[in-house]
Amino acid sequence: MTSELLDIRRIYVEPAAAELPRGKEVLARFPAAQLVEVESHNRIDELYGDETNVNRWVRIKREALVLGVKKTLTARPNGRSADFIAPSTANGCAMACAYCYVPRHKGYSNPITVFANIDKISAYVQRHVARQGVKPAPNECDPVAWVYDIGENSDCSVDARISDNVRDLVELFRWMPAAKASFATKHVNRDLLDWDPQGRTRVRFSLMPARDAKLLDIRTSPIAERMAAIDDFVAAGYEVHVNFSPVVVRDGWLEDWAELLDQLDASIGAAARAQLAAEVIFLTHNRDLHEVNLGWHPKAEELIWRPSLQQPKRSQNGSWNVRYRTGAKGQYVAALVDLIGARLPYCRVRYAF
């Protein structure tokens, strides 16, 4: 699957990134790739400003890579999935999920950008954790540790195919008892099983009914493969949770979720069940992304752009999102949470919205 997912033929590279040890390592992994020098990783007109790229949405993800330097290092408070969002070591993705929010900020293509200044990113994270001290009280993120999401804008399991950035962070958190790393993934990368995280990294496998995933989770690991990996990741020292996300409302949706929950129950053993928890996130879609998707995957929009079921909401960055209508959404959430309680009574729902 790796060769189908990534066939890097062109690397857009900032000169400063090419001079760093991690940048040199990434370039050495793809010696046949054409190098295109750019001033800034986030200002590449032929990638992000050309609307004709929509027709090559998946091809660009497979063949293009951006190598840059992360300029701004911050850890933003989150408070739901994690206590903090760590500064990203990458953004973009080789996969092509129709609902992904990251492309909303990029334009007409969304390949992976890898940041080469991992040493500065790691040092910043270490200082930030040290400043927090001991977590004063349990919360829905974790009862003891400060949780840092290290993959908000990318999929770390895919990123690990390109560079050692994710491994460096997993190994960093191994030695910080007051904190743990966390990331969601739709890609099974078994190389991670050799990293010895010692319980300090939480992997959240994203799951949805296979019927939805076939249409929406483009170029990802099959749902059954994700579930089959859970026991192995627990045995390898990871804390493993699940993301039931995004939940898409359609005819027969709850029956299909019941089937998925039964499949998950049959797929995992006692060790995984003893530590399992879930996040439940109903679909939020975006008007601009809807327009982009119409150019490369209109069939998906028939499922996730449903004006009769959705209401608009202005996001913090000023763009228009749509989500299921108030009132009805509360009923959907309650129905699925009740179903989880009935089918997976050992699975704690950390939050649902």
For residue range 332-352, list pLDDT tens digits in order: 999 999 999 999 999 999 999
pTM: 0.96
Rounded CA separation 155/189 (Å): 11
Residue 272: which domain range?
2-352
Q: What residue has token string 């898409």?
A: 248
Per the document, the length of the chain is 353
What residues are paired with 349 via a beta bridge? 278
pLDDT in the model for residue 102: 75
Rounded CA separation 204/241 (Å): 5
Q: What is the pLDDT of residues 57-96, one digit of tens each?
A: 999 999 999 999 999 999 999 988 999 999 999 999 999 9
Q: Strand 179-185's sheet: what is its strand order?
A: 76-77, 84-85, 146-149, 179-185, 201-207, 239-247, 277-282, 348-352
- For residue 334, give the CATH number of its domain: 3.80.30.30
Q: What is the pLDDT of residues 117-164, one digit of tens each?
A: 999 999 999 999 999 999 999 999 999 999 999 999 999 999 999 999
Question: Domain total for the chain?
Answer: 1
Q: What is the pLDDT of residues 2-26, one digit of tens each?
A: 678 999 999 999 999 999 999 999 9
Parallel, antiparallel, or unpaired for β 239-247 and 277-282? parallel
- The CA-atom distances, in angstroms, between 192 and each of 8, 135, 166, 217, 275 are 22, 28, 9, 22, 19
On the question of pLDDT at 1 being above 60, the answer is no
- Mean pLDDT estimate for the chain: 95
Q: Are 186 and 220 in contact (CB under 8 A)?
A: yes
For 57, phi and psi rounded to 5 degrees? Answer: -50, -55
pLDDT in the model for residue 115: 98
